Structure 1
Amino acid sequence: MPDADGASGEAGDVARAQGRSAASRVFLALIAAVVVLALLTAGLLLLESQRAARAEAERVTQAVAQTLAHSPDVVAGVAADEPTALLQPLAEDVMADARIDFVTIMDTSGIRITHRDVDEIGKHYIGTMPASATALTEEFAGTLGPSIRTIVPIEDDGELVGWVSAGVTIGSITASALPRILVAVAVAAALVVAGYIGAVLARRATRRVTGDLPAGAVRDTLASAESMRTLGDALRAQTHEHGNRMHTAVALIELGRSDEAVELLTESASQSQVLVDQVAARTQGDPTVGALLLGKAAQARERGIAWSADIHPDAPRSLLPPIDAVAVVGNLIDNALDAAATGPEPRWVRLSMTPAAHQALVLVVSDSGDGVPPDLRERIFERGFSTKQADVAGRGVGLALARAVIEDIGGTLDLDEGSPTTFRAVLPSGRPE
């Protein structure tokens, strides 16, 4: 016999063959989500830092240019015989104090009187010259490279006497945004670290429940539990119903009313035989589902709900294994029985199995319940959501599990429009593409 270590190794090999464990998938999904969130956050912070730096540069250049344009010293200096000698020192002081990259003062034709590079003095201004005496802020590539600059007219008693331009290069703007960039990177790193810790804790919590089982195996385990539950409920109801009928028949016989006892037992057998004949007539039927339907019919009668089943003899057998088939059919019927039990009279549940195109099985379950509100039509398929009492075990799992199982084999499960409430499942019987 293999030892415990060998069995454990074989189980691990099986798990690896089936794919990553559910805990690992949860971990990877959370890590991916955190990384995406961190990147988006960092990107937004970087964009905001660039926008804020550019906005600050525009405000500074506008303020400096406006101040110089209205300065009496600048107005007088432009009209002086040696304007450069008077205004170049002033421009250099302003550049140093305001921490901007250039201050260029020009005459009315755009010839530079001052410039950061003295070799450029006397040359024509590189940038947009407004057609009228108005201020203009723009991004333009000049002798110092791309920059944010503001040009403002210099006026003396309403007459244009020159221009002043103040600017900050894009390189300076980027450098000023560096502290904000570091903050963005730090925030993103903190998000990743916090997300990693959360993902590790989530993986541990998931592993306590699922071990190293793959996600598909966890789903199969849940389907098996649902199958056992619904089969158990059906068999209990059937046993309870037959027990009541047998006790009643025995009491009638003891009272000497044997004819009534025989009639009671015959009626009971006849009701079950109709469904047995329908199930047996299917050429490709699933006996497990047939047994489930017999139990659910008894469960419906026990709850005072009229039950009818229409099973076409040519209805094919779906790709679902017996455990999944019982989970799907049982959950749809249980959902219908619960809805009908709390709905208006007469209370009924109807089931049909018919063949469809492309070798598909169409399973339809209808009930007389109050229906599903329009805003909840899709939410009822969400795991954990239920319109029933929150203290009932298993609520919010059945329909979500049924749809997941059906979609795994390429089928569909939907809620029909209108009344009565009708769930329609299309189950392929051939291999999906």
Structure 2
Amino acid sequence: MHPPAPPGRRPGRGSLARQLLLLQASVVLVVVVVASGVAYGSARTAVREAAEAEVLGIVESLINSPFVRTAVSGPDATALLEPYVEQIRADTGTSFITVLAPDRTRYTHPDPSQIGRPFLGTIAPALAGRTFTETYSGTLGPSVRATGPVLDERGQVVALVSAGITVTTIGDDLQGALPGIAWTALATLAVGGLGSWAISRRLRRQTHGLGAAPLARMLEYYDAVLHAVREGLLLVDGDCRVQLVNDEARRLLDLPEDLTGRHVTDLGLPAGLTDVLTGQRLTVDAVQVTRSRVLVVNQAPARQAGRTVGTVVTLRDHTDLQALTGELDSVRAFAHSLRAQSHEAANRLHTTISLVELGRTEEAIEFATTELAVAQRLTDEVVAAVDEPVLAALLLGKAAAAHERGVSLVVDPDSAVGSTGLPGGDLVTVVGNLLDNAVDAALEGPPPREVHLLLEATGAALEVRVEDTGPGLTADQARRVFDQGWTTKQAPAGAPAGLGRGLGLALVAQTVRRHGGTIEVRPGPGAEFTVTVPLPSPATAR
């Protein structure tokens, strides 16, 4: 039985590295063969051109030789020229050197039997006074030859000189160049093969031995997952440059399309989130507030071959959850206040009944009437001033919670708010966090501890003004009060510093900016926050 194919591979298919090795080896082989052929052709041409230049040089030297000119005019040209020409032929390695008369009769030839016979070859250009080269088959076989005229003092052609090298001799010279071509081809093939093997080995290690099809399929799956997952994902390299960002992360952070290679400090993110990304440290469930969302950020270092190469960052949108949490807190506070009031009502009822049983009817009536007026006054003020149900319930709950903590919530008599058209969650976020912050600040000030609230819908904007009797803020604190994580409050006993704090006012600022509103802080004793939010439609004020 054959062992099963490794995961990610298909039986019968090699890895991408092996396929690339075979492809590179084939390309190298083809290139070497073609290059060798070109080199052989170049060598053949070079050898032929060298032979032509050699015989042409021999012919020109002989036709200009006074000895040759004198010898061909003598009574026995062969006796004078044959030893001389044969010595030159032996010295130069030429196949033949022939001196002939204008009527083709040979005076010299390597084969003595050919002397006196007609010369085989073209002589017309030479008779016309021109030296030329040609390839011609003579008595020694095909040869590359040069032929030129011997001229007397009057410029008349008195003889011809022809020198040549046989094609066989040229072939022998060409064969001498073949070992060099072959060794060069083998060396090129070896270097190319070694380079291909090194590249293949590196690629096999980087692709984990996977083939092209599994890699393509894996890339398609990963790309589909990255775009389909409902959690933002960022990959940042060791230089804090973005290498990958999926659609959800781009949506959550309001980022443009092309981000690859950009530094995280150039993305326009809030300072807190930028610090987290550039710090590249382990981060677990860190809450970050952007211009329009509340995000939970997790970050973990990415390691490869034992070294850190960047970080993997995941983002989850908790904006809606934060709004629902705020509304739930308000409902809980309201329910708590109702329970507290029920206890207070029971105590007052027992007191009233006891006074009646003691026969002190007038005191019972006066006590019940006074307590009823005090308990009803704030409710009447809120109901009369605020026609927004969610906002009215929030104020009643916050008033009861503040009263239990020893702080009085005073609603300005000029408050008048009808239906705002704003989302209830945003109203709870803005007003609830401002009141919570003001109550906490008032507890740090001297008695009487009060929080004053003005709610007014005028024209096309809602104005919320919250003032407390606490120690207030300095000018520097007023500039930083909306920064996420910044707070003047002490952490609960046994909890890490800043846990759950420094977020409320940041959420207020985020919500106000999202609606295109403004927020102002008055420093000094008794801080005052003023929020102005445009309304989607003119509010009805009463």
Matched AA of 1:171: T
User: Deviation at 1:14?
Assistant: 8.4
1:50 aligns with 2:44: yes
Q: Which residue of 1 aligns with 2:136?
A: 140
CA distance, structure 2, for counterparts of residue 83 and residue 250 of structure 1: 127
DSSP-derived class of the 1:114 partner: coil
Following TM superposition, by how much is the alpha carbon of 1:246 offset from its aligned partner in structure 2, in angstroms? 4.3
**2:319 counterpart letter in structure 1:** N
Report the Cα distance in structure 1 between the residues aligned to 2:44 and 2:183, rounded to whole angstroms.
17
1:262 and 1:119, CA in 2 relative to 1: closer, same or farther beyond 3 A? farther
CA distance in 2, matches of 1:143, 1:171: 13
1:198-222 superposed Cα distances (whole Å, 9 cap, x missing partner): 1222222122123342211121122
Please tell me the root mean square deviation across aligned C-alpha atoms, in Å.
Answer: 2.9
For residue 18 of structure 1, report the CA deviation from its aligned partner.
5.3
* Identical columns (%): 25
Q: How many residues align?
A: 259
Are positions 1:261 and 2:258 aligned together? no
Mark the CA change 1:145 to 1:12 in structure 2 (over 3 Å): closer, same or farther. Answer: farther
The verdict on how the C-alpha distance between 1:106 and 1:25 changes in structure 2, with shifts beyond 3 A counting, is same
Q: Distance in 1 between matches of 2:424 and 2:113?
A: 122
5+ residue gaps, structure 1: 1-5, 265-433
Whole-Å separation in 1 of the counterparts to 2:424 and 2:159: 120
Q: Deviations over 1:103-152 (max 9, x none)?
A: 01110112211111222222222111134111111122222122111101
Q: Does 1:244 find its partner at 2:241?
A: no
Q: Distance in 1 between matches of 2:21 and 2:142?
A: 46
**2:219 alignment partner, one of 208, 215, 222:** 222
Q: Which amino acid aligns with 1:220?
A: R
> Any residues of structure 2 matched to 1:327-346 within 5 Å, and which?
none
Q: What is the CA-CA distance between 1:17 and the residue it aligns to?
A: 3.0
Alignment of 1:86-105 (within 5 A): 86-105=80-99
Residue of structure 2 equivalent to 1:364: none
Answer with 242-251 or 182-191: which moved more: 242-251
**In the alignment, structure 1 residue 25 sits paired with structure 2 residue 19:** yes
TM-score, L = length of structure 1: 0.54
Q: 1:252 to 1:13 in 2, by over 3 A?
A: closer
Tell me how far 1:28 sits from its aligned partner: 0.5
Partner residue, 1:9: 3
Instruction: Label 1:153 to 1:32 Cα distance change in 2 as closer, same or farther (>3 A).
Output: same
- Secondary structure of 1:207's aligned partner: helix
Q: Which amino acid aligns with 2:91?
A: D
Deviation at 1:32? 1.0
CA distance in structure 1 between the aligned counterparts of 2:425 and 2:208, rounded to whole angstroms: 56
Q: Distance in 1 between matches of 2:9 and 2:140?
A: 64
What is the match of residue 333 of structure 2? none
**TM-score normalised by L of structure 2:** 0.44
Q: Indicate if the aligned counterparts of 2:100 and 2:159 stay in contact, CA closer than 8 A.
A: yes
Give the superposition deviation at 1:247. Answer: 2.8
Write the distance in 1 (CA, Å) between the matches of 2:7 and 2:75: 94
RCO higher in 1 or 2 (8 Å CA, sep ≥ 6)? 1
Aligned pairs for 1:307-346 (under 5 A) are: none
Output the CA distance in 1 between the equivalents of 2:248 and 2:61.
93
Q: Which amino acid aligns with 1:181?
A: L
Aligned counterparts, 1:204-215, within 5 A: 204-215=201-212
Gaps of 5+ in 2: 230-245, 253-293, 296-315, 331-388, 394-420, 427-542
Which structure's residues are more often helix, by fraction? 1
